[in-house]
């Protein structure tokens, strides 16, 4: 007769696999260049698609160093540095020395860049409004609460992955 722990661990492992698959599907959809194009068009902004995730990332997480930004978007530092320079030339971001470490150059959103990301937010709200139109408020609240809890836990997880895995051995 299987122990309760084994049954629970198997159930948790199955649930985690389903969660992982759902996350991969969401990431796959979100990483499609066509999604950015749709959002750019819906926002009515004149921005190259390659610059779009950087502008949004700088607005959400900035001021942010180029190395941190490159890690966040999964691109090479030199590529991100050139793209941030392009955003700066468009007046959407400014680069400056970090207050914490003068050796680090950070990118920060400008008023013009913020106005552009506000248009993106409005367009995203319309698109997500359509996606969630059949959901009740409680389900949306729970999704947001649990996603925030998950995101916080993932950020706090050690990079070496040393946490104890779920096992059948109890």
What does the pLDDT look like over 4-22, one tens digit per residue? Answer: 667 678 888 999 999 999 9
Give the model confidence (pLDDT) of 39-87 as tens digits.
999 999 999 998 999 999 999 998 999 888 998 888 899 999 999 999 9
Q: Is the dihedral of CA 93, 94, 97, 100 positive or negative?
A: negative
Note the pLDDT of residue 168: 44
Q: Which two tokens stand for residue 34?
A: 């066509």
Q: Which residues of 150-165 are buried (b: 16+ CB within 10 A; e: fewer)?
A: eeeeeeeeeeeeeeee
Domains of the chain: 32-155 (1.10.10.10)
Give the model confidence (pLDDT) of 126-170 as tens digits.
999 999 999 999 999 999 999 999 999 988 776 655 555 544 444
């Amino acid at each position: 007769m299987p122990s309760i722990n084994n049954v629970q661990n198997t159930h948790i492992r199955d649930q985690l696999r389903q969660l992982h698959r759902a996350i991969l599907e969401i990431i796959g959809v979100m990483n499609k260049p066509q999604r950015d194009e749709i959002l750019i068009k819906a926002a009515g902004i004149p921005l190259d698609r390659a610059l779009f995730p950087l502008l949004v990332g700088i607005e959400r997480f900035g001021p942010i160093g180029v190395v941190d930004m490159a890690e966040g978007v999964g691109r090479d530092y030199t590529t991100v540095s050139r793209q941030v320079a392009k955003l700066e030339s468009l007046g959407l971001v400014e680069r400056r020395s970090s207050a914490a470490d003068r050796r680090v150059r950070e990118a920060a959103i400008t008023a013009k860049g913020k106005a552009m990301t506000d248009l993106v937010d409005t367009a995203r709200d319309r698109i997500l409004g359509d996606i969630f139109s059949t959901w009740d408020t409680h389900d949306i609240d729970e999704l947001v609460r649990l996603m925030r809890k998950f995101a916080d836990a993932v950020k706090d997880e050690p990079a070496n992955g040393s946490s104890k895995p779920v096992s059948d051995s109890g």
